[in-house]
Amino acid sequence: MVFEEIYKHYWKKVFRICMGYVNDRDWAQDIAQETFITVWQQLPNFRNESAIGTWLFRIAANHCLRQLEKSKKHPKEEFPPQIAEQEEPSTDENVRLLYQYISELEEVDRLIISMELEEIPQAEISKVLGMTESNIRVRIHRIKEKLSQKFNSNGHE
């Protein structure tokens, strides 16, 4: 598979996984771009030991986790309120809330549910994260319960 095909096929999924992880459009785009730079650089070394998607999602997950570590060491400075950027209004309040609630989950849970929402097979998620499929299924169930509780406790369905 050539890089252009990989990029076209996986860009949206990788971006949404990153978005689910960091809940910031610009930051998610940066991480997704870093992911594809790594894919571009490492594609000649890809040995087909796993599916291309599994390999790519593992790279994306690693970049997300690395970004979180960097942000903990070097917290972002906030703009003063008078010049703070305005968030774009979401076309769907429930989607905005979903990303917000996902961003409040534990690190690994954010990756799991982001991949689940992208309809990545649970077997592939387990390979990306190095967990058993049964563990992934249990965690997805618990994550969905947590997210439902957050929606319900805030008056949304």
Q: What integer is the mean pLDDT of 17-23?
A: 85
Mean pLDDT, rounded, of the chain: 83
* Domain 3-74+91-153 -> CATH class: mainly alpha
| pLDDT on residue 39 | 94
| pLDDT on residue 82 | 45
- In tens, the pLDDT along 63-110 reads 988 887 776 665 555 544 444 444 444 457 878 888 889 888 988 899
| pLDDT on residue 81 | 47
Token pair 């252009």 is found at: 4
**CB < 8 Å & 24+ apart, contacts of 40-46:** 40/3, 43/3, 43/6
- In tens, the pLDDT along 45-74 reads 888 888 898 899 999 988 988 887 776 665
Domain locations in the chain? 3-74+91-153
Question: Distance (Å, rounded) from C-alpha 4 to C-alpha 114?
Answer: 24
